[in-house]
Amino acid sequence: MLSGLAHLTLEVKDLDAARAFYADRFGLTATEASAREVVLPVGETALRLRRPDGVPRGGLHTHFAFTAPPDTGGAWRARLVDLDPETATFGDVESLYVYDPDGNCVEIGGLEPGGGRDPAADPGPPTGIFEVVLEVAALDPAVERFEALGFEPVDRGSSRRRVRLRGPIDLELWEPQRGIADARGGVHVDLGFETADPAAAAEAMAAWTTDRAAVADGVRIRDVDGHWLTFRR
C-alpha cells in the first residue's frame, strides 16, 4: 500500500542551530527554508526541521536511522568522535548513535565494523532514512493499525514491549522505555508516506484516527497515539 517514506519531521527550538548540526555533522544541505521550517533532502526522503509554533508539530526525542555506504564506517567514526558516539553491532554490520541539539537520537547504520575508508576521507552525506522509532501506549493495537497499512512484524524484543515492522522503511514501535544509547521512541512524530491511493491508506487507519484533513495530493491523519501520518501520491 505504501511505497516510500516522503518525510520525517523533527521539532527543534533553534532552526539555525539544528540546520548547522545536520550540515556540519552529516553533510545535509537545505533546499527549502522559512521562519518555521527547514527541509534537508536525504536520498528520497525530506528531513524537516520545524519550530513548535503550530500543528502538526515535529517529533520529540525521535530515534531514527540514516543509511550510508558500508565502507564509510571509519570516516563516520572520525567525523562524529567528539560527540562520543555509542556503537552497536548487528550481525556483520555496525551502527553509531549520537544526539542532535534537540535530544533526537540519530543513528547511522549498516557500516562495516572497525574498518572502512580512510578516516580522513569525506564519507559524503547519508543516502536515506531506513528506520524510525515511535512511542505507543499499547503495543498490540499499534501493531494492528500499522499492519493495516501493509507493515509486517519481523522481530519482537525479549521484553515483549517493542516490535519491529518492515514496510517501505522499518518502523520500531516501543511502549515507553529506553533503548540502545538511552534512546526513546518519538512522540507526536510527523511522517509522510508515498502511496498510489492516499484515500485508501487513510481509510485503512480509520478505526484508529482522531483527526483527518485533506492536503495537497493526499490525506493527513492523526492516530490514537498522537502521531501524524500523511499519505501522498
SS3 sequence of 162-177: EEEEECCCEEEEECCC
Q: Which residues of 11-43 are buried (b: 16+ CB within 10 A; e: fewer)?
A: bbeebeebbebbeebbebebeeeeeebbbbebb
Whole-angstrom Cα Rg for the chain? 17
Residue 51 confidence (pLDDT) = 98
Residue 167 confidence (pLDDT) = 98
Residue 116 confidence (pLDDT) = 63
Nearest Cα neighbor of 214 from 204, 202, 225, 205 is 202
Contact, 41 vs 82, CB < 8 A? no
Contact, 154 vs 143, CB < 8 A? no
**Series of mean pLDDT values for 10-residue runs along the chain (233 residues):** 97 98 98 97 98 96 97 93 96 96 97 75 95 97 98 88 97 97 98 98 98 96 98 97
Residue 115 confidence (pLDDT) = 63
Distance CA 167, CA 11 (A): 24
Residue ranges and CATH numbers for the domains of the chain are: 2-232 (3.10.180.10)
Distance CA 208, CA 150 (A): 15
SS3 of 185, please?
coil
Residue 199 confidence (pLDDT) = 97
